[in-house]
Amino acid sequence: MAISYRKRGKNKTWDYRIFDKNKKVVASNSGFKTKREAEIEALSIEIKLMQGAIIDKNITFYGLWEKWLELTVKPLGKADTTINKHMIRGKFIKAQFEDKPAIQIKASEYQAFINKYAETNCRDNVSRMNAEIRNVIIFAKRDKLNMEDFTEGVILSGRPPKKRKEDKYIHSFKDYQKLVSYLEENLDLSTSIIPHLLLIQLKTGLRAGEVAGLTWDCILWNTSEIKTYRRYDTVRHRWSKAKTDDSIRTIPIDEVTLAVLQKLKQEQEVFIENGAIANDENMIFIDINHNIVTNAGINKHLKQILKMLRIFPNNMTSTGLRHTYCSTMLAMGVDIWAVSKLMGHKDITEITETYGHLIKEKAEIENNKVRNVLKSLSK
């Protein structure tokens, strides 16, 4: 390889060009105030080239993101909802970096982008955007693209979430019981399937798409369990696979819940026989009026019930029933690893972050047990 330096232009700045053995320019840059500055960068680039780095001055960061998405994300068969979230982030990346060569993006420019994104997004969304961009950079480096990790040292901010984590679920066990009792007393398929659906979600901690996607073969009658292995999109009316491998699981239910499902199955069969309901896909939660009820309809119904019963938070969505199930199991002393498995999580990280206060309370109880054991040794 060879390097040439030139002093050019009205401002008398320096540039450099690096040539391969065929005398083809493989890297260049300009605008240096001194020849020394140009030499420092050129020599650094030359070393990276000799180590196998590939310089593509023309590819934009948005182009890199598209390549990353096609080669590393889509082949994994992620759910449509996950791909859509990537696409939304891609729109922001395109708006900012569509015409910007990836190797020219500076840390200060990226910080400005993150700050602007944070003006309209919560801290969690900003963190996800930063993680996605960092993954693109890692992907590019594996492909030997010579670029700096401009995400290093970035300061993340963001708007406060609309709801605090503690506002997303029912804290009171009495309110949990009150809601369960109300739903059990108002199960009427001829009026609406929603109370049935809410009750099962409250008794299993299933995600909204998981409970909507339950079919009668998911009920394990002999072992009193519910199996979930896929999801249903109530807006697009289509199936998707489980969110993750850990989301494929069985969840224990009690005899009362099993009896509720048995009665629902019998009632549904009568409605199907009379032509009031069509259920070609053997789904559990088919509504006589709307067939498949949307999440928006379910949430509206739930909020009406919560306000009527004076249960807080009364603006909770059906996802809050999942959080309520989880927090109650933890508060009642169910092992955190067991709860994590029932929730379909890979590990306990998410539960620890969301329900840390309950875990601390449980830890203190266990610590007192340890103290009592140690105290008994001194007798």
3-state secondary structure of 159: strand
C-alpha–C-alpha distance, residues 51 and 36, integer Å? 23
Mean pLDDT, range 77-97, rounded to an integer: 89
**Could you tell me if residue 12 is left (phi over 0), alpha (psi between -120 and 50 degrees) or otherwise beta?**
left
Q: What's the pLDDT score for residue 54?
A: 60
Each residue's pLDDT tens digit, 47-67: 777 776 665 667 899 989 998
Is the peptide bond prior to 313 cis by the omega test (within 30 degrees of 0)? yes
Question: Does 178 or 79 have the greater pLDDT score?
Answer: 178
Question: Does 235 or 79 have the greater pLDDT score?
Answer: 235
DSSP H helical segments within the chain, as ranges? 35-50, 61-68, 80-97, 107-118, 123-142, 173-185, 194-204, 208-212, 255-273, 295-309, 319-331, 336-343, 349-354, 356-376
Residue 65 tokens read as 């993101």
C-alpha–C-alpha distance, residues 2 and 359, integer Å? 62
- Is the model's pLDDT at 165 over the cut of 60? no
C-alpha–C-alpha distance, residues 90 and 76, integer Å? 18
- Is the model's pLDDT at 164 over the cut of 70? no
Mean pLDDT, range 65-82, rounded to an integer: 83
- The answer to pTM > 0.95 is no
CA dihedral 142, 144, 146, 147 (to 10 degrees): -10
Mean pLDDT, range 351-367, rounded to an integer: 75
Identity of the amino acid at 157: S
- Is the model's pLDDT at 76 over the cut of 90? no
What phi, psi does 316 have (nearest 5°)?
-70, 145
CATH H-level superfamily of 61-142: Tyrosine recombinase, N-terminal domain (1.10.150.130)
Fold for domain 165-365?
hpI Integrase; Chain A (1.10.443)
Question: Does 26 or 114 have the greater pLDDT score?
Answer: 114
Of 5-9, 17-21, 137-141, 202-206, the range with the highest mean pLDDT is: 202-206
- Is the model's pLDDT at 355 over the cut of 90? no
Question: Does 290 or 360 have the greater pLDDT score?
Answer: 290
Domain coordinates of the chain in residue numbers?
A: 2-49, 61-142, 165-365
Neighbours of 132 (CB within 10 A): 20
User: Measured at the alpha carbon of residue 11, what is the angle toward residues 5 and 15, in degrees to the nearest 5?
Assistant: 20
- Is the model's pLDDT at 379 over the cut of 70? no
